[in-house]
Structure 1
Amino acid sequence: MKPFYLLLMVLWGALAFYTGAVIGNDGLNLFPWFFGDMARWSWPGQFNLDFSMMLFLSASWTAWRNGFSVSGIALAILAFFGGAGFLLPYLTYLAWKHGGDTAAILTGVNHKDRAA
Structure 2
Amino acid sequence: MNSLKLLLVVLWCAIAVITAKAVSLQGMAAGDIFLSDIQALDWRAQFNVDFFAHLLLIGLWVAWRSCFSAAGIVLGMACVLGGGLVSLVYLLVAAIRCGGDVRRLLLGQRATNE
| 1:107 partner amino acid | L
1:111 corresponds to: 111
What are the residue-to-residue correspondences of 1:1-116 with 2, within 5 Å? 1-112=1-112
CA drift at 1:112: 4.6
3-state secondary structure, aligned to 2:67: coil
Task: Tell me the TM-score normalized by structure 2.
Answer: 0.94
In the alignment, the residues of structure 2 paired with residue 58 and residue 3 of structure 1 have an alpha-carbon distance, to the nearest angstrom, of 20
**CA deviation map 1:62-91 (0-9, x unaligned):** 000011000011101101101111111111
Write out the 4+ residue segments of structure 1 that deviate beyond 4 Å after TM superposition: none
In the alignment, the residues of structure 2 paired with residue 105 and residue 2 of structure 1 have an alpha-carbon distance, to the nearest angstrom, of 13
Bigger CA drift: 86-95 or 60-69?
86-95
Percent pairwise identity: 36
In the alignment, the residues of structure 1 paired with residue 84 and residue 109 of structure 2 have an alpha-carbon distance, to the nearest angstrom, of 22
Q: Which runs of 5+ in 1 are unaligned?
A: none
Task: Tell me the TM-score normalized by structure 1.
Answer: 0.93
In the alignment, the residues of structure 1 paired with residue 91 and residue 32 of structure 2 have an alpha-carbon distance, to the nearest angstrom, of 30
Q: Which runs of 5+ in 2 are unaligned?
A: none
In the alignment, the residues of structure 1 paired with residue 82 and residue 5 of structure 2 have an alpha-carbon distance, to the nearest angstrom, of 19
In the alignment, the residues of structure 2 paired with residue 82 and residue 32 of structure 1 have an alpha-carbon distance, to the nearest angstrom, of 15
Bigger CA drift: 85-94 or 19-28?
85-94
Q: What is the aligned-residue RMSD (CA, Å)?
A: 1.3
3-state secondary structure, aligned to 2:10: helix
Number of paired residues?
Answer: 114
